[in-house]
Structures are given as C-alpha cells and as structure tokens.
Amino acid sequence: MTDPLARLIGELSRLPSIGPKTATRLAHYLLKVSAGEAQNLAQAIVEVKEKLFHCSSCNAITAVDPCRWCTDERRDRTRICVVEEPFNIEPIERTGEYQGVYHVLLGALSPHRGIGPDRLAIAGLMARLEGVEEVVIATNPNVEGEATALYLARLLKPRGVRVTRLAFGMPVGGDIEYTDEVTLARSLAGRREM
C-alpha cells in the first residue's frame, strides 16, 4: 500500500514550479487544515476539471461557450490580441488599455520540444480575420515567443492585417503572467509594427 503522504508529495511536485521541498511543505500544511478545508480544495480541483473548457472561438478558459470576451458587445472586434496561454489574458485585462478580443494559441513554437505550427491554434486565428484590422501579438519575449511572433507576422501581413508586437519593458526571458500592470500597460501603448 502506498504511503498517502508520499503520494500527495509526489502529486504536488508534478505541478509547475513546485519542487520536492515546496511539495513537502504544502503536504504538511494540508495535514494541519481541517477535513472540511481539505475537502473544499479537493472539490475545487474536481469542479475546475468538470466545468471549465476552452472557448470554441478564442480558446480562453470558460464555463460558457462562447466566453465572456467573445460575447462582450463593447469589445472592438477589429483587433485581436494573440497570447500563448489562457492565463496570459488576465494580466492584459488588468491594464485597462486593451479593448479588443483575444485569441489563445495554446502554446508557442518550439522545434526542439516538437511543437510546430500544427500543434498551435493558428488555423482558428486565421479563420477569424474577416473584418480584423490589427493583430496584436502578445507572446512572451523569449526564444519561443519571438519565433511564434515572427511566424504569425509572416502569415498575417499578406492578408492585409496590421501586425503589432508588444513593446516589452521587461527582460528577455520573462513571462507575461509575472509582469506588473504598469509595465504591461506601457507595452500595450508602445506596441510596434512587425
């Protein structure tokens, strides 16, 4: 029979950015909480898996299809902001600078990890271009994000769409989700043509 504590530590350590030491601390913390609190956490995890899915239009995480960004009539549908992952949307939203719609690629190009254009939601983006005047590419400023941005720019420019890239005020290798709102707001305001 597997030791339940060892199993919990093993499962927690499989989470991104959670190493064995952090997993052990979290597991021991969970031992101290009430059974009700532990049950609430477990139920929240199950509920997320059962009730959330990707929007059929933009790939954002949602409980209704289409998502709140795709159905918001106040959104500027002539602009699409392209991000790598669903969690990249919220930091951009917090800036209050962007009023268009989104498209989530569900990753970035990474040939050394076997992620080519066919593994990203690029076809869905291309299908949404009617009436679009600008595509804002908001991929991360790392090797994969830059390669993805260049690839998209080469696909989009022949379609007559203005292609812009965020002007990142952060170091190369950083991630959007860890960037503060002020830096992201400046990046949106200072985006540049590709």
Instruction: Kindly report, residue by residue over 128-159, the tens digit of the pLDDT.
Output: 999 999 999 999 988 899 899 999 999 999 99
What pLDDT does 52 receive?
97
Q: Is the pLDDT of residue 35 over 60?
A: yes
Question: Quick one: which of 141, 114, 115, 136 has its CA closest to 125?
Answer: 136
Question: Quick one: which of 173, 156, 174, 176 has its CA closest to 164?
Answer: 156
Task: With H, G, I as helix, E, B as strand and everything else as coil, classify residue 99.
Answer: coil
What pLDDT does 54 receive?
97
Give the orientation angle of helix 4-12 with respect to helix 20-32, to 10 degrees. 130
Question: Quick one: which of 182, 185, 150 has its CA closest to 165?
Answer: 150
* Tens of pLDDT, residues 39-80: 999 999 999 999 999 999 999 999 999 999 999 999 999 999
Question: Quick one: which of 119, 88, 118 has its CA closest to 103?
Answer: 88
Round the CA-based radius of gyration of the chain to a whole number and report it: 19
Q: Is the pLDDT of residue 167 over 80?
A: no
What pLDDT does 182 receive?
64
Provide mean pLDDT across the span 11-29.
96
Q: What percent of the chain has pLDDT over 70?
A: 94
Q: Is the pLDDT of residue 104 over 80?
A: yes
Provide DSSP, 129-170: -TT--EEEE---SSHHHHHHHHHHHHHHGGGT-EEEE----S
What pLDDT does 12 receive?
96
Tokens describing residue 98:
């962007």
Percentages (nearest 5) of helix, strand, coil residues in the chain: 50, 15, 35
- Distance between CA 137 and CA 176 in Å, rounded? 12
What pLDDT does 169 receive?
62
Q: Is the pLDDT of residue 171 over 60?
A: no
C-alpha 5, offset from chain centre: 32
Residue 175: band (very low, low, confident or very high) from pLDDT cuts 50, 70, 90: confident
Tokens describing residue 188:
């949106």
Domains, the chain? 4-51 (1.10.8.420), 72-193 (3.40.1360.10)
What pLDDT does 142 receive?
84
